[in-house]
């Protein structure tokens, strides 16, 4: 009578194992389907912000709040462990796009593929322009609004230094949570590196005595022309003037010294009004840079083009190009040419 009982026990065990295998197969299928199936409820333009200290359950709650549905916490946890994401979710803002799967989202969070934003400091901008642009940049944290220029430089660790010219023009990438001070700190460091490189590469016969003088002259060259090929010519012209003891007589410095009084036009009285930045009334370089020079202007001043020109004036045809002259008489002829071209351009509506 014992043999039939053993057969029944064996059949029960087999059925139990088959049921367990079926259950495990179902769980595996459900897990695989969940991991690689598109997330439901994702709308275009949706983002999720992971903050410092956010755990996986907190991230899942934020996903639910963003309208994402599907998947149980146990499935997300198992997938995160299998991918090595558990405990390695990086801080930042992430884009949720239609068609994204749980696997691709967790991979992005593990690898820190956060949304990147950009803000550009333009060559020739003043510190006022830079601060205005940063104040409009979103989602940058605006932490400098209550700081004047003096307090700003102190906050950046450069107390007593004038801010003009100290931030390198280029496009800076940032992520949500970065601040204006973060961008300015990076731009300051970039300018220091660029200025150091230009100073070390300067030509042997330069009249400039310090990197700060190179920075100041580069800012003037930057404001005088937007044409890259002309920068070395203008830099050489200004250096020859400095060597000869001639005044620079450059309009951009006068404009900078006028500040908010400048209304788009320089009058004769403005050229005669003495300020520390009026290079018509004062010899040498102004006390500080007058704008943010780019690397092209720095390199041009470090290695200016040779020549004998001491004067230059705009062509006047709207091209931005200039006419160069060795003598004042030749310069006067160029001025007359400029005036004729300027009048012709105005008459043509250009």
Last residue of a domain, one of 93, 115, 137: 115
Residue 120 has which token pair?
């550009």
- In terms of residue numbers, what domain contains 147? 117-194
Q: Domain check: are 277 and 305 in the same one?
A: yes
In a domain? residue 29: no
State whether 109 and 90 are in the same domain. Answer: yes
| DSSP letters for 63-86 | HHHTT-B---HHHHHHHHHHHT-T
Residues 232 and 312 in one domain: yes
Judging by beta carbons within 10 Å of its beta carbon (0-12, 13-18, 19+), is residue 182 exposed, middle or buried?
middle
Contact (CB, 8 A) for 212 and 193: no
Sign of CA dihedral 277, 283, 285, 287: negative
pLDDT at 264: 86
Question: Do 98 and 127 have their domain in common?
Answer: no
Structure confidence at residue 250 (pLDDT):
97
Q: What is the DSSP string of 290-303?
A: SS---HHHHHHHHS
On whether residue 24 sits in a domain, the answer given is no
**Burial classification of residue 237, based on how many CB atoms lie within 10 Å of its CB (0-12 exposed, 13-18 middle, 19 or more buried):** buried
Q: For position 8, what pLDDT does the model report?
A: 57
pLDDT (0 to 100) of residue 11: 54
Domain match, 210 and 336 both? yes
What is the number of residues in the chain?
350
Cα(113)–Cα(282) distance, integer angstroms: 54
Last residue of one domain, picked from the residues 136, 166, 194: 194
Residue 68 inside a domain? The answer is: yes
Query: Per-residue pLDDT tens for 218-270?
Result: 999 999 999 999 999 999 999 999 999 999 999 999 999 999 999 888 999 99
Mark whether 211 and 336 lie in a shared domain.
yes
Query: Is the pTM for the entire model greater than 0.75?
Result: yes
* Domain stop point among 87, 115, 143: 115
Nearest to 240 by CA among 325, 332, 330: 325
- Residue 12 to residue 163: CA distance in whole angstroms: 84
Judge if 272 and 336 occupy the same domain. Answer: yes
250 and 328 inside one domain: yes
**Is residue 333 located within the same domain as residue 281?**
yes
Confidence (pLDDT) at 22: 43
Residue 17 lies in a domain: no
Does residue 20 lie in a domain region?
A: no
- Which ranges of the chain have pLDDT less than 70? 1-32, 350
Q: Is 22 part of a structural domain of the chain?
A: no
25: in domain: no
CATH of the domain at 77: 3.30.1490.480
Alpha-carbon torsion (226, 235, 215, 280), positive or negative: negative
The DSSP letter of residue 1 is -
Q: Are residues 211 and 167 in the same domain?
A: no
Do the beta carbons of residue 196 and residue 298 sit within 8 Å? no
Buried b (16+ CB within 10 A) or exposed e, 138-153: eebbeebeebeeeebb
Backbone angles phi, psi at 126, to 5 degrees: -95, 170
- The Cα 269–Cα 292 span in angstroms is 27
Domain count, the chain: 3
In Å, how far are 100, 148, 194, 266 from 299, measured between CA atoms? 47, 31, 9, 29
User: Residue 23 has what pLDDT?
Assistant: 43
170 & 214 share domain: no
Answer yes or no: do 177 and 211 share one domain.
Answer: no
pLDDT digits (tens, 9 = 90+) for 286-307: 999 999 999 999 999 999 999 9
116 in Cβ contact with 94 (< 8 Å): no
Q: Please report, for residues 81, 227, 312, 313, the alpha-carbon distance to residue 320 in angstroms, rounded to integers and kept in the order given.
A: 61, 7, 12, 10
Distance CA 5, CA 44 (A): 64
Indicate the angle between helix axes 251-258 and 211-224, nearest 10 degrees: 100
Q: Tell me, yes or no, whether 12 lies in a domain.
A: no
């Amino acid at each position: 009578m014992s043999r039939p009982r053993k057969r029944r026990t064996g059949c029960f065990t087999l059925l139990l194992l088959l049921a367990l295998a079926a259950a495990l197969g179902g769980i595996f299928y459900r897990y695989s389907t969940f991991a690689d199936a598109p997330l439901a409820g994702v709308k275009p333009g949706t983002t999720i912000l992971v903050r410092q200290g956010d755990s996986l359950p907190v991230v899942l709650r934020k996903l639910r709040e963003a309208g994402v549905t599907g998947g149980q916490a146990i499935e997300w946890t198992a997938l995160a462990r299998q991918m090595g994401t558990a405990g390695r979710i990086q801080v930042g803002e992430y884009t949720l796009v239609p068609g994204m799967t749980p696997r691709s989202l967790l991979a992005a969070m593990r690898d820190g593929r956060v949304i990147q934003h950009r803000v550009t400091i333009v060559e020739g901008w003043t510190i006022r322009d830079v601060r205005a642009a940063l104040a409009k940049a979103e989602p940058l944290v605006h932490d400098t609004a209550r700081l004047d220029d003096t307090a700003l430089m102190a906050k950046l660790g450069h107390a007593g230094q004038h801010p003009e010219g100290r931030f390198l023009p280029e496009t800076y990438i940032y992520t949500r949570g970065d601040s204006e001070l973060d961008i300015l700190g990076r731009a300051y460091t970039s300018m220091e590196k660029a200025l150091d490189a230009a100073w070390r590469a300067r030509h042997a016969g330069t009249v400039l005595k310090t990197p700060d003088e190179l920075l100041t002259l580069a800012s003037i060259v930057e404001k005088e022309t937007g044409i890259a090929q002309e920068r070395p010519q203008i830099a050489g012209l200004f250096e020859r003037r400095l060597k000869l003891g001639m005044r620079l007589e450059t309009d951009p410095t006068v404009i900078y010294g006028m500040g908010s009084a400048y209304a788009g036009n320089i009058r004769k009285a403005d050229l005669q009004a003495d300020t520390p930045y009026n290079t018509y009334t004062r010899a040498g370089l102004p006390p500080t840079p007058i704008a943010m020079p780019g690397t092209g202007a720095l390199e041009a001043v470090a290695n200016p083009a040779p020549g004998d020109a001491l004067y230059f004036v705009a062509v006047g045809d709207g091209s931005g190009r200039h006419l160069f002259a060795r003598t004042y008489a030749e310069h006067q002829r160029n001025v007359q040419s400029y005036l004729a071209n300027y009048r012709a351009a105005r008459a043509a509506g250009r």
